[in-house]
Amino acid sequence: MRNMFNRFRIAGLAVLSAASFIHPALAEEGGQSSGKHFWSGDWSLTVGGDFYRQPRFTGSSKYIMSAQPLISFGRTGVAERFSSRNDNISFALMDMEDFRVGLTGEFLMARGGSQADGLKDVPWGGEVGGFMEFYPTDWFRLRSELRHGVRAHNGIVGELAGDAFYDVTPAIRVSGGPRMSFASEKYLDTYYGINAEESVASGLSVYDPDGGGITSAGLGGAVTWMTTDKITTSLYAEYTKLQGKAARSSLVSERGSRHQLTVGVSATYRFDFTLD
């Protein structure tokens, strides 16, 4: 499930595969080096910001404004893949024309204080795991992620997403498609379970998820505009409806909402440079 506890993300920081760091000038005929270093060549650094309105936490009916930095770094001239704001930090171990597989991770902020409202605090932590992408056509991508919690929770989280994308003009792209998420009992117990002590402190009914399953389903879309050669802006929206044991939690049914909507805008600027 997409966690919304003021999540901090550095997007695309490790998207490049190891092969992208090997400069062709390192090897010449006969195996002799040309004297170039592995970092030699043309690079780009993209920086920007993401500003969005989202629920205070997943399942909340109250909304807050949030922001996060966007940073990516890589070689120029490498074919750019389609990406969605839902994609977590990824490192491709296998990168073919219509298939990618590799490692992925996400950083999770803590839940506590006014967010908890009588519930147990959840410490900051992360999720690490793997991802897989498949392009059945040149205009549609299927992506899945499977991650295990670290410190914040000890559960397993999975996400499935499909995105169709179309270039209306050379500078404007529209994209969107369905999303689905699922989680194990340990994850659901951390974020949706209400024990007796929490029930007294919060006024919510005791709730034990007693198992995992599908936690949400929805749709997402974006309009991306390459404003200039170096500036890219985007407008996006993501709607999900909580399902199953997550939706039945007293945190959602008595205090929150199954309907979750995030809308936002982002802008980035690309710096190009050369290293010898």
Q: What per-residue confidence (pLDDT) applies to 40?
A: 80
**What is the DSSP secondary-structure string of 187-241?**
HHHHHH-B-HHHHHHH-PPPB---S-EEEEEEEEEEEEE--SSSEEEEEEEEEEE
Mean pLDDT score of the chain: 85
Residue with tokens 């340990």: 186
| Domain extents in the chain | 18-275
Tokens of 251: 């945190």
Q: What per-residue confidence (pLDDT) applies to 276?
A: 80
Model confidence, pTM? 0.82
Please compute the mean of the pLDDT values over residues 183-195 and round it to a whole number.
96
Model confidence at 22: pLDDT above 60: no
The residues facing 128 across adjacent strands are 105, 148
* Cα 107 to Cα 152: distance, rounded to the nearest angstrom: 10
Q: State the fold for domain 18-275.
A: Outer membrane phospholipase (ompla); Chain C (2.40.230)
Tokens of 99: 């298939």
Tens of pLDDT, residue by residue over 81-138, are: 888 888 888 888 998 989 999 999 999 988 875 556 788 889 999 999 999 999 999 9
Q: What per-residue confidence (pLDDT) applies to 135?
A: 96
* Cα 129 to Cα 112: distance, rounded to the nearest angstrom: 26
Q: What per-residue confidence (pLDDT) applies to 111?
A: 80
Please compute the mean of the pLDDT values over residues 222-249 and round it to a whole number.
96
Largest CA-CA distance found in the chain, in angstroms, rounded: 76
